């Protein structure tokens, strides 16, 4: 079979102009989609997730002043202080990372691994831990307590400015 060299070839590729027109259209559709997604997220109520995100602890009134509550889904303890403010502490020991339980009979946190003791505000009372329990930011919205478990905050001591007023 021979091919006639004089026969014009069919153009199957798009022109440069068509390519850029398609690229612009695709970019505009993508940006529009992102804008709609951001708008939907903005108008939705606060959403919560598990550890590593925003965790709903409960209604403000569920926590009596002076109480320590463990929020297992968020791996933190929520201390409602006597003045009604909140302090959220990561349950991870600042020594070697063991999970530290609250021991009501001792009125302190007591790490089972190497014995570090922490007071209600997470300050070291004794043992090898080099610093207090890390904090998480507390957000109070519509009478509910949320804790941002995405960014543990290191500190050298307790300070009342670390608490969130209800």
What's the burial of 4, exposed, middle or buried (CB within 10 Å: 0-12/13-18/19+)?
exposed
CB of 100 to ligand FES, least distance (A): 6
Nearer to ligand FES, 133 or 145 (CB): 133
Query: CB of residue 73 vs ligand FES: minimum separation in angstroms?
Result: 22
CB of 81 to ligand FES, least distance (A): 24
Please report, for residues 20, 24, 149, the alpha-carbon distance to residue 33 in angstroms, rounded to integers and kept in the order given.
Answer: 20, 14, 29
By C-beta, is 97 or 160 nearer to ligand FES? 97
- From 115, 62, 66, 71, select the one nearest 91 (Cα to Cα): 71
C-alpha angle 98-79-84 in degrees, rounded to nearest 5: 170
Cβ proximity to ligand FES: between 53 and 128 the closer is 128
Contacting residues toward ligand FES, per CB under 6 A: 93, 95-96, 98, 111, 113-116, 127-129
Query: Minimum distance between the CB of residue 58 and ligand FES, rounded to whole angstroms?
Result: 27
């Amino acid at each position: 079979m021979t091919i006639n060299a004089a026969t014009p070839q069919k153009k199957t590729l798009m022109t440069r102009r068509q390519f850029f027109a398609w690229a612009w259209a695709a970019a505009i559709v993508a940006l529009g989609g992102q804008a709609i997604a951001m708008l939907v997220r903005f108008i939705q109520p606060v959403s919560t997730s598990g550890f590593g995100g925003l965790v709903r602890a409960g209604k403000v009134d569920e926590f009596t002043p002076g109480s320590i509550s463990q929020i297992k889904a968020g791996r933190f303890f929520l201390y409602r202080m006597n003045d009604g403010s909140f302090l959220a502490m990561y349950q991870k020991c600042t020594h070697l990372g063991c999970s530290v339980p609250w021991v009501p009979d001792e009125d302190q946190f007591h790490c089972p691994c190497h014995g570090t003791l922490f007071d209600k505000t997470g300050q070291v009372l004794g043992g090898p831990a080099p610093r207090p329990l890390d904090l998480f930011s507390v957000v109070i919205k519509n009478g509910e307590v949320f804790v941002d478990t995405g960014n543990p905050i290191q500190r050298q001591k307790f300070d009342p400015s670390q608490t969130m007023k209800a």
